[in-house]
Structures are given as C-alpha cells and as structure tokens.
Amino acid sequence: MKNIKETKVVNFFYLGPPGSGKGTQAALLASFLKLKKIDCGGALRQLIKEKGYFAQKISKTMQAGELVPTWLVVNLWFDFLKNTNLNQGIITEGNPRTVLEAEILDDMLFWLGRKNLKVIYLKVRLSEAKKRMLLRRVCQKCNMPVSLYFNPEIKKCPRCQGKLVRRLDDKVSTINNRFKVFEKQVLPAVKYYRKKGNLIEISGEGSIDKIFKETLKKLNLLKK
C-alpha cells in the first residue's frame, strides 16, 4: 500500500449515545470545516420510502432499535466515498457502530489515503440523553429536527409550520433498546479508538454553543 498517496484532509467520525446531540454538533463542524457529511441514517430512511421488502426489513429493524447489518452500511459507505472528491474531508454521525465496522471503515479510508482520522466522542449521561430523546421531534413535512428539550415553547415547525412528530426510531419502546444496543455494540467501538489513540472526548452536556466551542478548542481550531 506504499504507493497510495496520502491526502491531507481530515476525516471525522462523530460518536455518542442516542440523544447526545451528535447530529447537531456534526452538522456544525461540517459547515465550519466544509466537510462532506455521510448520513447513513438519512440514507436508510430514504431507502424505507422506496417500499418493497428491503424497505420493510430496514424499517422493522430500525423500529426495534436494532442495528441494520454491517454489509448494508458498508454499501452505503462505498456509494458515498466513490462520489466524494479525495480532497474533501468527510464527517459521519453515529458511524461506525461496532468494532467490526470500525475495522472495515478504517480499512476503506486507509486504502483511499484518508489517514488523518479523528474520532469525536460526545459523552452524555444516559439519563440525560434519554430525557432529550423523549423530547425530540421532526417536522412531518420538511423533516427539520426540533428539540423540545432546548426549545420547550415550540408547537409547530419553525420553518414551514408543519406538524411535529416523533422520528420512527424515537418511539418510547424503541429508545430503551437503542441504549442497550449502544452499550453493547457501540461502546466497544469507542474503546477501540481510545486504544488506537484517535479518540477526542467531549462533554455533551450544556448548551449547543458551549459544546461546539469546546470541540473547536480541543481540535486547536479556536483563535486565541
């Protein structure tokens, strides 16, 4: 693999329990550093809209709070990476979800010369994360996510006045299982990166702004 040219761009994996706010933080960092976002969750929700048995299987798996299979995620990654310029940094949200996925994704990035990898882990107490998830909504019309935790007075979508509903995988019955899956499958991936020395840990409690500033500080991106 000596011949593969290393690119200078930085690649980020953003990990954290469900409800940690990793989606919001990853979006902020993506726009700050002009990173391309790999949105596997969005791609899966898109697949569900296409109907058919694939859609049904994916929908059932997500509604149960279980992880969709690794080969499906790797396929989404392949599609995404082959359509991404090598000079552009990427950022994920909630991926990789297991040690197996971490090893495969590391291998994909390494092969492409994307060797500069930083893994950010948003640490939030599970009781706090659960509280936030129960107050998470999405606009039925335009899909804009809205947090009643951070904006308790909101009744309708601030963008299009659409109705606010729970996301498919945010049902109360699903949430508990998602936390179990997180502890059993995702935490080992976090430990894997801690051992490798890629991990940057940030407290995910406090305001969105405060957490983002802390992130920039830890990444040495804040002007002193």
Residues that bind Zn ion (CB under 5 A): 139, 141-142, 144, 157, 159-160, 162
Nearest approach, Cβ of residue 146 and Zn ion (Å): 9
* Closest CB to Zn ion among residues 142, 172: 142
Nearest approach, Cβ of residue 27 and Zn ion (Å): 16
* Closest CB to Zn ion among residues 144, 219: 144
* Closest CB to Zn ion among residues 38, 139: 139
Three-class SS string for the chain?
A: CCCCCCCCCCEEEEECCCCCCHHHHHHHHHHHHCCEEECHHHHHHHHHHCCHHHHHHHHHHHHCCCCCCHHHHHHHHHHHHHCCCCCCCEEECCCCCCHHHHHHHHHHHHHCCCCCEEEEEEECCHHHHHHHHHCEEEECCCCCEEECCCCCCCCCCCCCCCCEECCHHHCHHHHHHHHHHHHHHHHHHHHHHHHHCCEEEEECCCCHHHHHHHHHHHCCCCCC
* Closest CB to Zn ion among residues 101, 170: 170
Nearest approach, Cβ of residue 45 and Zn ion (Å): 16
